[in-house]
């Protein structure tokens, strides 16, 4: 059975990606950290598309949890092959660096950067053995441009961009591609507290994007048609370039 694992899949961009993977015929593994109700809502949306899946609870930033839960799942489900991995889990704890404390730094960096490492390690070996895999990392405009008040988030996402480019070269001969999608301002829970009217005025398209628009780009990288594209970062930001 061909599976797609989406970290942070219970809400927002992650949920839209889960639904899109269901449309593509994948068995969808919805990772979530704590919101079981939201993860189950995502599963309902997946099933509404005629596919199936399951929710898998673990904190991507916790190596022991990832090894026990995801590693255990891989061992126990030999008949299910994770063909697509979307490293989407991420958090924001914005502050000017002058006021930022070490916990705010670690939480954000560990979730994006350590999470990418711990989760990818668990599924990469099977992709290499099968000589096929699609790894898509959700990064951010912040990781390319750098945004004030987001030194931690910018550092985390820039780190994942570097890792994307390096890993892509390591695994290309085995038919595994590694790409990144960098959203700008997308209308989700994570951006709900932002001044949308003010920020949208900075965007040439004069609006925030939707999670579904990000999911479409992920779907392209997840498909067979993108087989000769790897190590790329695709910006989805309505023209808001650096």
Per-residue pLDDT of the chain (242 residues; tens, 9 = 90+): 899 999 999 999 999 999 999 999 999 999 999 999 999 999 999 999 999 999 999 999 999 999 999 999 999 999 999 999 999 999 999 999 999 999 999 999 999 999 999 999 999 999 999 999 999 999 999 999 999 999 999 999 999 999 999 999 999 999 999 999 999 989 887 666 777 788 888 889 999 999 999 999 999 999 999 999 999 999 999 998 75
Architecture of the domain spanning 2-236: 3-Layer(aba) Sandwich (3.40)
For residues 132, 46, 13 and 20, what is the CA-based torsion angle, rounded to 10 degrees? 50
Ranges of each domain in the chain: 2-236
As a whole number of angstroms, the distance between CA 141 and CA 158 comes to 9
As a whole number of angstroms, the distance between CA 9 and CA 33 comes to 9
Report residue 52 as tokens.
């199936």
User: Which residues on neighbouring strands pair with residue 176, listed in sequence order?
Assistant: 133
- Residue 148 CB partners (closer than 8 Å, separation 6+): 96
- Count Cα atoms within 13 angstroms, Cβ side, for 227: 7
As a whole number of angstroms, the distance between CA 69 and CA 22 comes to 22
**Element spanning 171, H or E:** helix 151-171
Q: pLDDT value at position 36?
A: 94
Catalytic residue ranges: 153
Nearest of 48, 54, 47 to residue 29 by alpha carbon: 54
User: Which residues on neighbouring strands pair with residue 235, listed in sequence order?
Assistant: 182
Helix 151-171, helix 102-109: angle, nearest 10: 30
Q: pLDDT value at position 241?
A: 76
Pair 228, 176: CB distance under 8 Å: no
Q: pLDDT value at position 192?
A: 66
Q: pLDDT value at position 242?
A: 56
pTM of the model: 0.95
């Amino acid at each position: 059975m061909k599976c797609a694992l989406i970290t942070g899949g219970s809400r927002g961009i992650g949920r839209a990606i889960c639904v899109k993977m269901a449309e593509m015929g994948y068995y969808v593994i919805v990772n979530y950290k704590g919101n079981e109700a939201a993860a189950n809502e995502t599963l309902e949306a997946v099933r509404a598309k005629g596919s199936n899946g399951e929710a898998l609870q673990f904190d991507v930033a916790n190596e022991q949890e990832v090894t026990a839960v995801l590693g255990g799942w891989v061992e126990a489900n030999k008949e299910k092959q994770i063909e697509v991995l979307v490293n989407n889990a991420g958090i924001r704890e914005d502050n000017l660096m002058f006021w930022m404390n070490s916990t705010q730094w670690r939480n954000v960096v560990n979730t994006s950067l350590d999470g990418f490492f711990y989760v990818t390690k668990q599924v990469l070996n099977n992709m290499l053995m099968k000589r096929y895999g699609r790894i898509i990392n959700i990064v951010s405009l912040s990781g390319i441009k750098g945004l004030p008040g987001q030194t931690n988030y910018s550092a985390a996402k820039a780190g994942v961009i570097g890792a994307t480019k390096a890993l892509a070269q390591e695994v290309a001969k085995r038919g595994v591609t590694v790409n990144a999608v960098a959203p700008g301002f997308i209308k989700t829970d994570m951006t709900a507290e932002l001044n949308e009217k003010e920020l949208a005025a900075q965007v040439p398209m004069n609006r925030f994007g939707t999670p579904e628009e990000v999911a479409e780009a992920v779907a392209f990288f997840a498909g067979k048609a993108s087989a000769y594209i790897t190590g790329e970062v695709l910006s989805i930001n309505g023209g808001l370039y650096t």
